[in-house]
Amino acid sequence: MMQALPSPPPPSLQHQLQPLPEKETTTAISLNQIIVSKQAGRHQQSSPREVLPYSETKLLAPKQPILQPRRTNPLIWFGAILCLIFSLLLIFFGIATLILYLVVKPKHPVFDVPNASLNGIYFDSPEFFNGDLTFLANFSNPNHKLDVRFEHVDIEVYFSNRLIGTQALQPFTQRPREIRLQAVRVISSLVYLPQNSAVELQKQVLSNKVNYNIRATFKLKAILGLFHYNYWLHGRCEMAISGPPTGVLVARSCNTNR
């Protein structure tokens, strides 16, 4: 008696019973290997990759030169230090000068002629004359904290822009806020004057008003403790004096500047 064959499984079950695909096998690569690809041919066709040891790839890398620091010349360091010291000193003295100027507020002395007398004018010839002029010079120091020393004092007398006499004074020192009066006598002896200037002087004597110009030049030293500085000062005075022999000061205009 024949036995019946079992019925085939349904299609859905056959689909589930299909064998699983085989797993692809992978080759493990050690960490000290690097894959290098080669390209050949004009069309750059890829070829099988070759695996090189990591130790051999080190030889392929270009070596970079090692730069060593260069030593600076000692003369350059010395020059740089000198420049630094000079710059610091320059800044220090600049600041100190500015502070002193703001604190002291220096003012230059003032020159003035408060009085004058014309004792005589006479001519030996039409172009040579003699004269005797005396005036009172006033020097004042308006500073509150600065001493002033007049190291050089030169006074000149002009008529019609022609020098007719000069006088130099001895050096002296003025304390702050001090006033100094000094009589100055200028004698003109056989002074040459051009004809037009001589004629003009004679006319002024007859009109009882002679115009003289005084030009003073001073070399000063301002002193504040251990600090001092020198500078030049110029004084100008225009005077109108009555005729000799008893000429007196009628008018004046004075200024002092650097």
Place of tokens 């004018």: 121
What pLDDT is recorded for position 145? 85
Residue 41 has pLDDT above 50, yes or no: no
Three-class secondary structure of residue 82 per DSSP: helix
What pLDDT is recorded for position 35? 47
What pLDDT is recorded for position 69? 67
Residue 126 has pLDDT above 90, yes or no: no
Mean pLDDT calculated for residue range 109-122: 93
Mean pLDDT calculated for residue range 128-143: 93
CA pair distance 213, 234, nearest whole angstrom: 13
Q: Enter the tokens of residue 10.
A: 């349904």
Of 96-110, 179-193, 237-251, the poorest mean pLDDT is in 96-110
Of 26-35, 151-160, 164-173, 237-246, the poorest mean pLDDT is in 26-35
CA pair distance 33, 141, nearest whole angstrom: 98
The pTM for the full model equals 0.62
Of 35-49, 92-106, 186-200, 235-249, the poorest mean pLDDT is in 35-49
Cβ neighbours of residue 179 closer than 8 Å, sequence gap 6 or more:
138, 139, 140, 141
**57 Rama class: left (phi>0) / alpha (psi -120 to 50) / beta:** alpha
Count of helices and strands (H, E) across the chain:
4, 13
User: Under a CB-based contact definition with an 8 Å cutoff, are residues 174 and 143 in contact?
Assistant: no
Give the residues across from 133 on adjacent strands. 118, 186
Three-class secondary structure of residue 27 per DSSP: coil
What pLDDT is recorded for position 11? 53
Cβ neighbours of residue 44 closer than 8 Å, sequence gap 6 or more:
none
Specify the amino acid at residue 120. Answer: G
User: Under a CB-based contact definition with an 8 Å cutoff, are residues 255 and 236 in contact?
Assistant: yes
Reported as a single tens digit per residue, the pLDDT across 170-213 is 999 999 999 999 999 999 999 999 989 999 999 999 999 999 99
Three-class secondary structure of residue 99 per DSSP: helix
